[in-house]
Chain A
Amino acid sequence: QKEVEQNSGPLSVPEGAIASLNCTYSDRGSQSFFWYRQYSGKSPELIMFIYSNGDKEDGRFTAQLNKASQYVSLLIRDSQPSDSATYLCAVVPSGSARQLTFGSGTQLTVLP
């Protein structure tokens, strides 16, 4: 069983809509969670991180964490075509503070 699971997509949403990206993880001891955005042909770039249960907002992005359900999500409000990319969920596994385990990513397309 993969340690970090994401729906591969593709996920398509119309411009202006809310895009919801989901991630589940198997390591109950994980404490830190990151979302990376990766445009086609480019390297991953960090866009959000969350450590505590609940919501964290940064501009149009909201990360949500539920440790009891081992679930982390990313909401993108007012989606723009420039948000079209692959979104990678990453988790710091317990006992490995300097490593990240990545999901395989969800491809998002925002339709004009």
Chain B
Amino acid sequence: DAGITQSPRHKVTETGTPVTLRCHQTENHRYMYWYRQDPGHGLRLIHYSYGVKDTDKGEVSDGYSVSRSKTEDFLLTLESATSSQTSVYFCAISERLGAEQTQYFGPGTRLLVL
């Protein structure tokens, strides 16, 4: 998993509660990403970071916020979880592959919002 860990790996929560997912990497990668994966939709980008305190929105950012206070940690927060945010969440890092960049993924977090 390219030195990427995610916590928690599984979480069940109730609608309206805040939830924070953590992504930790040990190889000093500058770029980090949060995706969600749902049946029929593939992987969709939520937010990404290009450095400490530097973040930007992806395709499906509504209802999510992120923070990156250290290079190794990228946090995804659901301020008030909704059932539509039930999903599998993957963190990824960007790494050079030849002349290009590609992405490697963490193990994922399964989130169920009741």
Cross-chain contact A97 with B102 (CB below 8 angstroms): no
Given A43-B1, A44-B43, A88-B42, are A100 and B103 also a contact pair (CB < 8 Å)?
yes
Q: What band does the interface of chain B fall in when counting residues whose beta carbon is under 8 Å from A?
A: 20 to 34
Contact of A99 among B40, B45, B97 (CB under 8 A): B45
Expressed in whole angstroms, the minimum distance between the Cβ of A18 and any Cβ of chain B is: 24
Cross-chain contact A92 with B100 (CB below 8 angstroms): yes
Q: Count of A residues near B, CB < 8 Å?
A: 23
Secondary structure call for the A interface: loop
Interface-centre pick from A8, A51, A104 (highest chain B CB count, 10 A): A104
**A residues in contact (CB < 8 Å) with B:** 4, 8, 31-32, 34, 42-46, 49, 51, 88, 90, 92, 97-100, 102-105
Chain A residues with CB under 8 A of B94 = 98
Cross-chain contact A104 with B105 (CB below 8 angstroms): no
